[in-house]
């Protein structure tokens, strides 16, 4: 900051009393997004959705349950938000599945492809966020900027795929990216100030990345709090021309 200049407020392109829904608030990145927004914006109200009710959350967060593999659970979540809060400034879909510590793990070869893992990963990473959009996009604020953001991943970029492997996860995120682009086109017709994007958080120290952190170069593993701050800065800088794109944590656009 230059001496004498006031700090601009965190999330300054949104109302101070912003209303947020975070789907996947029990996850490493989802929890950090909730904690950072609640701490930096004491007047914010955060609807924190997870499969199990959360016990330790900030005072300005409300915990509630959701199951992405059950559409009526998603519809019920949207109805509760609308009744309690009305319109939303931001929605984050911070859920995701890469491995389950049992039989689902990223494929190293086409020989490991199996229908059950493919279907499960696509259900959680693609179908779930699409159904969240179906039920939550009509709740986005209309008279000011609003952002619907899904956590995607760089490995969902077809152009960027140089290493191969990780078939199901890559495919689920590539399909998610197409859903985001398509949503953005329709959304622009009904809510001209709403923005729909995908976000790549970098490699973040969470249970999702844990088994693969050995491949990360020293100093490149982000902590969830830092990753959330950078993602929120990206979201703060978004304008409607950005809708439909996939952004990396450093603000650069990831090619489809
Ligand atoms: N960490 C990274 O390095 C990294 C890199 C690139 C992209 N991403 C993306 O960032 C997002 C968040 O990842 P993370 O690292 O925070 O992972 P995480 O700590 O494993 O959190 C995953 C979240 O998804 C929820 N979830 C999984 N299946 C669900 C279902 N059927 N219904 C409802 N919730 C479900 C989990 O709920 P439970 O707590 O109930 O299991 C948890 O809240 C994901 O989309 C991931 O692909 C992460």
Regarding beta strands 19-23 and 194-200, do their DSSP bridges make them parallel or antiparallel, or are they unpaired?
Answer: unpaired
Burial label, 126 (beta-carbon count in 10 A; 0-12, 13-18, 19+)? buried
Strand runs labelled E in 77-212: 90-93, 146-151, 194-200
Per-residue pLDDT band at 187 (split at 50, 70, 90): very high
Whether 128 contacts 120, CB under 8 Å: no
Tell me the best of 77, 96, 127 to mutate to test the pocket of ligand 1, counting ligand atoms within 8 Å of each CB and taking the most: 96
Q: What is the CATH number of the domain that holds 84?
A: 3.40.50.720
What is the whole-number distance in angstroms between the Cα of residue 97 and the centre of ligand 1?
Answer: 6
Q: Is residue 135 pLDDT above 90, yes or no? A: yes
For 202-240, the pLDDT digits (tens) are 999 999 999 999 989 888 999 999 999 999 999 999 999
Q: Give the distance between the most distant pair of CA atoms in the chain.
A: 62
The residue whose CA is least distant from atom 17 of ligand 1 is 208
Mean pLDDT value of segment 2-21: 81
Q: Is the CB of 9 under 6 A from ligand 1?
A: no
Task: Judge whether 255 lies within some domain.
Answer: no
Indicate the SS3 state at residue 200.
strand
For 84-117, the pLDDT digits (tens) are 999 999 999 999 999 998 999 999 999 999 999 9
Q: What is the pLDDT of residue 4?
A: 46
Q: What is the domain range of residue 227?
A: 19-248
Q: What is the pLDDT of residue 30?
A: 98
- If one counts the domains in the chain, the total is 1
Task: Judge whether 204 lies within some domain.
Answer: yes
Whose tokens are 């879909």? That residue is 93
Task: Judge whether 161 lies within some domain.
Answer: yes
CA torsion 16-90-34-44 (nearest 10°) is 20
Q: Is the CB of 50 under 6 A from ligand 1?
A: yes
Task: Judge whether 11 lies within some domain.
Answer: no
Task: Judge whether 254 lies within some domain.
Answer: no
Task: Judge whether 5 lies within some domain.
Answer: no
CA angle 56, 87, 176 (to 5 degrees): 75
Task: Judge whether 12 lies within some domain.
Answer: no
Task: Judge whether 38 lies within some domain.
Answer: yes
């Amino acid at each position: 900051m230059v001496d004498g200049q006031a700090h601009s407020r965190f999330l300054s392109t949104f109302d101070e009393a912003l209303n947020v829904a975070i789907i996947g608030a029990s996850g490493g990145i989802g929890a950090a997004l909730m904690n950072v927004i609640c701490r930096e914006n004491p007047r914010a109200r955060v609807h924190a959705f997870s499969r199990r009710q959360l016990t330790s959350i900030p005072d300005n967060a409300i915990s509630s349950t959701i199951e992405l593999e059950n559409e009526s659970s998603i519809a019920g979540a949207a109805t509760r938000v609308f009744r309690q809060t009305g319109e939303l400034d931001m929605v984050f879909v911070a859920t995701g599945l890469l491995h389950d510590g049992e039989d689902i793990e990223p494929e190293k070869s086409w020989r490991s492809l199996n229908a059950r893992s493919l279907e499960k990963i696509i259900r959680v990473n693609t179908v779930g966020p699409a159904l969240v959009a179906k039920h939550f996009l009509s709740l986005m604020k209309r008279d000011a900027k609003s952002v619907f953001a899904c956590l995607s991943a760089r490995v969902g970029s077809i152009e960027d795929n140089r290493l191969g492997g990780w078939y199901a996860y890559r495919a689920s995120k590539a399909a998610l990216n197409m859903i985001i682009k398509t949503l953005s086109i329709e959304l622009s017709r009904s809510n001209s100030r709403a923005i729909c994007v995908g976000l790549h958080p970098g490699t973040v120290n969470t249970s999702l990345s844990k088994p693969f952190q050995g491949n990360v170069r020293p100093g490149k593993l982000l902590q969830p709090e830092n990753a959330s701050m950078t993602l929120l800065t990206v979201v703060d800088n978004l304008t409607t021309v950005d809708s439909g794109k996939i952004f990396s944590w450093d603000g650069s656009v990831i090619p489809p």
